[in-house]
Structure 1
C-alpha cells in the first residue's frame, strides 16, 4: 500500500521533472534563436569611402594635379592637435574631404566639397575652416566640380 506521503513525493518529483524538462527545452530554443540571430545579423558592414559626387571630384583633382598626392577623408586629428583636451574634443571625429600633398608630402591645400547636405550648416563649416586656417592650412570649398584649369589656378596659381 502506498502512503500519502510517498504519493506526495511522487507528485512533487514528477512536477519537478516536468519543470526541469520545460526549462531545458526553452533554454535550447532560446540559444538556437540567439545563434541564428547572431549568425544572420552582422554587426559591421562595409561602405564606400567616398560618395559618387566626391568620386567625380577625386578624379578631377587627379587630372588637375597628376604630380601631387590626393588623400580622401583625412581625420582632423591627422592634421591638427592641441595641448588641451577640450580643444581636441572640438575636432575629434571630424574629417576633411580631400587633402592635396606635394611630392615632399607637405599639405598644399584642403578641399571641401559641399553637397546639398551642407545647406544650413554654413556656420559649422566656417568653424571647421577656422580651425584648419588657424593651424596654417588653406581651405577651399566648392559646391560643384570645377574645371581642371580652375582648380590649378585656385590651388597652386598655375
Structure 2
C-alpha cells in the first residue's frame, strides 16, 4: 500500500510530468510552421512554360495569373464568381498587352467541362482569347494557333 510520503512523491511526479508535457507542447506550437512553400506550377505545366518560351522568346509568359488581375466587375456578386480563380498561362507581347490566355487541361478537367466553359465565358466577355490544350502542343502548333 501507499504511505503518505509515497503518495506525495506520486503526486509530485504526476505534476512534474504534466508541467513537462505542457512545456513541450508550448515549444512545439511555437516552432510549428503555419506557412509552407508550394510549387507555383506543376511539372506538367513547367513543360508547357518551357514550350511557350521556346515558341515565343520575344514575348512574356506569365503563369498562374489571377482572374482578378485580368477582369473586374462593379458587381460584388459577379466578382465573387472569379476572385479565387487563376489561369494557367498568359502570353504578353512586347508592350505587355495580353495576346492570349492558355489553359492546359490535365485529365482532372474531364469532370470540369461546365466549369471550364464558364471560365472561358468570363474571359471571352472581357475581350480575351482563350486557348485550351489537353496536351502540350508543338512549337509549330502554337505558332499556328496564336498568330
TM-score, normalization: structure 1?
Answer: 0.80
* Cα distance change on mapping 1:33 and 1:78 into 2, 3 Å: same
- Structure 1 segments, 4+ long, off by >6 Å, are 19-25
TM, length-normalised to structure 2? 0.86
Name the residue aligned to 1:5: none
- Output the CA distance in 2 between the equivalents of 1:147 and 1:22: 69
1:26 CA drift (Å):
3.2
Which residue in the other structure is 1:3 paired with? none
2:21 counterpart of 1:29: yes
Q: How many residues are paired up?
A: 139
Q: CA deviation at 1:119?
A: 1.4
Task: Tell me the secondary structure at the aligned position of residue 111 of structure 2.
Answer: coil
Match of 1:54 in 2: 45
Q: What is the CA-CA distance between 1:51 and the residue it aligns to?
A: 0.5
Q: Rg: which structure is higher?
A: 1
Gaps (5+ residues) in structure 1? Answer: 1-14
Which residue does the alignment assign to 2:3? none
SS state at 2:21 partner: helix
